[in-house]
């Protein structure tokens, strides 16, 4: 029984990617876009979705090569890995969309109405949070915005900031703690 020969990575491809050789990156970017776009379009996505997901996937693969987490043997390995990362990102996006439930602002039910006293406290707190949010550092605003408003997972945030998932969690905790302290200084509980 013949076993396939073990192949070492194509050092020249890896080195060219690590050194950010623009011609190679551009060639890889263009050559692999259509396959992922077709997948996304066939799976409830649009053209803008495909562009966004592809860019995220390409950057994630590039980052993984930069840090040595993935070393493609050749362009075929690169393409297969990029496609897998892109598909996973699209599946995650579909899950997020499925789990989102939005109630239009105009639709209020009696059970949604909070007592005036409690409502004023809540409004004061929300206003204080909005006000103090502006005083956080740019990194904290970006992190909390991605987590709470864009609904990104800690894993996605960690990838964006080149952190571990544990670091993303710790930084989110620190940013929230800082925001709470700012709100408390304003005298709102």
Domains identified in the chain and CATH numbers: 11-99 (1.10.1740.10), 116-185 (1.10.10.10)
pTM for the model: 0.49
Q: Burial of 28 by CB count in 10 Å (0-12 exposed, 13-18 middle, 19+ buried)?
A: buried
Low pLDDT (below 70) residues in the chain:
1-11, 99-121, 188-189
- Distance CA(11)–CA(69), nearest Å, equals 15
> Distances in Å between the alpha carbon of 73 and those of 12, 61, 83?
10, 14, 16
- Distance CA(155)–CA(146), nearest Å, equals 11
Hey, what are 63's tokens? 């980052």
* Phi, psi dihedrals of residue 45, rounded to the nearest 5°: -110, 170
pLDDT value of position 106: 46
């Amino acid at each position: 029984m013949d076993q396939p020969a073990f192949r070492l990575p194509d050092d020249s491809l890896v080195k060219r990617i690590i050194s950010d050789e623009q011609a190679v990156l551009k060639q890889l970017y263009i050559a692999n876009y259509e396959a992922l776009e077709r997948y996304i379009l066939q799976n409830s996505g649009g053209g803008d979705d495909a562009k966004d997901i592809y860019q995220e996937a390409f950057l994630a693969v590039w980052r993984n090569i930069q840090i040595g987490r993935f070393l493609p043997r050749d362009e075929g390995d690169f393409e297969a890995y990029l496609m897998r990362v892109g598909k996973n990102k699209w599946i995650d996006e579909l899950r997020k969309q499925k789990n989102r439930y939005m109630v239009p602002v105009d639709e209020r039910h009696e059970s949604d109405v909070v007592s005036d006293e409690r409502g004023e406290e809540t409004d004061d707190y929300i206003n204080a949070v909005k006000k103090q949010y502006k005083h956080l550092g740019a990194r904290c605003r970006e992190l909390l915005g991605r987590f709470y408003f864009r609904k990104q997972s800690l894993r996605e945030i960690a990838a964006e900031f080149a952190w571990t998932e544990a670091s993303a969690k710790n930084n989110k905790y620190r940013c929230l703690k800082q925001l709470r302290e700012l709100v408390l200084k304003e005298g709102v509980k």
